[in-house]
A and B are shown apart, each in its own frame.
Chain A
Amino acid sequence: MSDVTRITDQGMITLRADFTSLKGITVPETRKIRDGIAWMSPDELLVLVPKSDVSAKLAELEKALNGHYLLADVSDARAVFSLTGDWAREVLAKGAPVDLSPDAFKPGDLRRTRIGQVAAAIWMVDDRTFHIVCFTSVADYLEEWLRHASRSAAKLTYF
């Protein structure tokens, strides 16, 4: 089976700004996650740090930024799950309208999409691990959905 774990110590900072004005921050390519910075939209990044480092990171980013921007600690507004297993791709493919074949979705790739009809962002950490972020308000539902889809009786081997 695939293992679903809720990650509780993940700090997340939303940064919205004109990317061309960002200095000292390496913006990942479109729909990629690199060095703990996730591309969420053409003007939005999600900065991932351990929860205990959020205040320090916020202060650091605040110093580096100027002009018009938005910086917000969203750690408690989002839930993060780790999905690991040999058929993690199949588990997500059951509920997300995303091409998750190994040719199309690789480690470092990120997609904002929906899983089981709720908004979520997924990215691949390594060949058999996905991280999934959703709103806290639907976290219990999504956790149940992921556990249900990944139980061994529901095993699929498509990819």
Chain B
Amino acid sequence: MLKLTCPYCGVTGEETEFHAGGEAHLKRFGPGSGDEDFTNYLFSRKNPRGVHFERWRHQYGCGKWFHAARDTGTLEVFGTYTAQTGEPPADIVAKIKAKRPEWEGFA
């Protein structure tokens, strides 16, 4: 079971209380960008087995979007953090590195 803690209201719930929002920290490419960038932004997503960063919404709770860092293979959650950030916070990255030394880092 995947259990997440909402960083806004502090509630820990299992995944049916939340709504998955796909890969986190996408860089937006809009009008004026190159075809390849735009195509990648629209269609290309990472799908790793291992460390992954995702967006989640606390659907049946405070309704807020947030970020979660987790392992897609073991469902271990390394941490959740607010949506108002463009990349994972340093403490979460450090925590993942300590637990998964082979992890290549956030790119």
A97→B13 contact, CB < 8 A: yes
Whether A80 is near chain B, meaning CB under 8 Å from some CB there, is no
Task: Determine, out of A60-68, A110-118, A124-132, the stretch whose residues face the partner at the interface.
Answer: A110-118
Task: Mark interface residues in A24-47 (1 if CB within 8 Å of B CB, else 0).
Answer: 000000110000000011101000
Nearest 7 pairs of A and B residues by beta carbon: A41-B62, A114-B60, A42-B8, A112-B61, A41-B63, A113-B60, A119-B60
Whether B9 is near chain A, meaning CB under 8 Å from some CB there, is yes
Whether B26 is near chain A, meaning CB under 8 Å from some CB there, is no
Q: How far is the CA of A4 from the CA of B64 in the complex (A)?
A: 31
Residues of A within 8 A of B11 (CB): 31, 111
B10→A113 contact, CB < 8 A: no
Q: How far is the CA of A97 from the CA of B61 in the complex (A)?
A: 11
Q: Which residues of A contact B (CB under 8 A)?
A: 30-31, 40-42, 44, 97, 111-114, 119
Given A97-B14, A97-B16, verify A31-B9 contact (CB < 8 Å).
Answer: yes
Contact-size category for B: 10 to 19
Whether B87 is near chain A, meaning CB under 8 Å from some CB there, is no
A113→B17 contact, CB < 8 A: yes
A30→B16 contact, CB < 8 A: no
Query: B16's closest neighbor in chain A, by CB?
Result: A97
B10→A114 contact, CB < 8 A: no
Residues of A within 8 A of B62 (CB): 40-42, 44, 112
Q: How far is the CA of A30 from the CA of B8 in the complex (A)?
A: 9
Q: How far is the CA of A121 from the CA of B8 in the complex (A)?
A: 17
B9→A41 contact, CB < 8 A: yes
Since A41-B9, A111-B61 are in contact, a sample of 11 more A-B pairs with Cβ atoms closer than 8 Å, ordered by chain A residue number, is A30-B10, A40-B62, A42-B9, A42-B64, A44-B62, A97-B13, A97-B17, A111-B11, A113-B17, A113-B61, A119-B60
